[in-house]
Amino acid sequence: MSKSFKPGRTGADFNEWLAREFADGSFTALIVLVSIGGLEVIPLRSTFMHVIGDELDWLAFSDAMRGAGVNWEGVVIMPFRDEDGAHASDIKARDALRLLDKRIIEDRLVINEGHFFDKWGRRMKIEEASAQ
């Protein structure tokens, strides 16, 4: 599910993604922390944050997510904007986050609609697997 570790690249995928995403303007990040084990990806906690600048890097982001108090191995980030193309109101963000939580619980492949990073800030992707 993850790439091989590359020294010196910690957070580079996340940092590059954030710069590209913010180039379109501010947005609300719907965030779902997950645990990864074997063939399972299990949602643990979710939250949202308004991204109004591109100064955030992987180190600061992952430090903030450690405040959730769970041992997470991956994070799903779904950019969400209001009708005007800017970050959404708290009420709209909460509603969108509830819907995202529900969709991920029903189908883990929904994770691929957003941006999926491991705990080192490297991109990942969910692939279908069958029990053997």
Indicate whether 68 belongs to any domain.
yes
Would you place residue 1 in the very low, low, confident or very high pLDDT band (cuts 50, 70, 90)?
A: very low
Among 15, 45, 32, which Cα is nearest to 121's? Answer: 15
Q: Is residue 80 part of a domain?
A: yes
**79 occurs within a structural domain:** yes
User: Structural domain tally of the chain?
Assistant: 1
| pLDDT class of 132 with cuts at 50, 70, 90 | low
In a domain, 129, yes or no: no
pLDDT digits (tens, 9 = 90+) for 7-24: 456 789 999 999 999 999
Q: Could you tell me which of 12, 22, 23 has the C-alpha nearest to residue 50?
A: 22
What residue numbers bound the domain in which 31 lies?
12-124
Q: Is residue 18 part of a domain?
A: yes
Q: Residue 89 falls within a domain, yes or no?
A: yes
pLDDT digits (tens, 9 = 90+) for 20-72: 999 999 999 999 999 998 889 999 999 999 999 889 999 999 999 999 999 99
Residue 132 lies in a domain: no
Within a domain: 77 = yes
Residue 76 pairs with which residues in a beta bridge? Answer: 32, 116
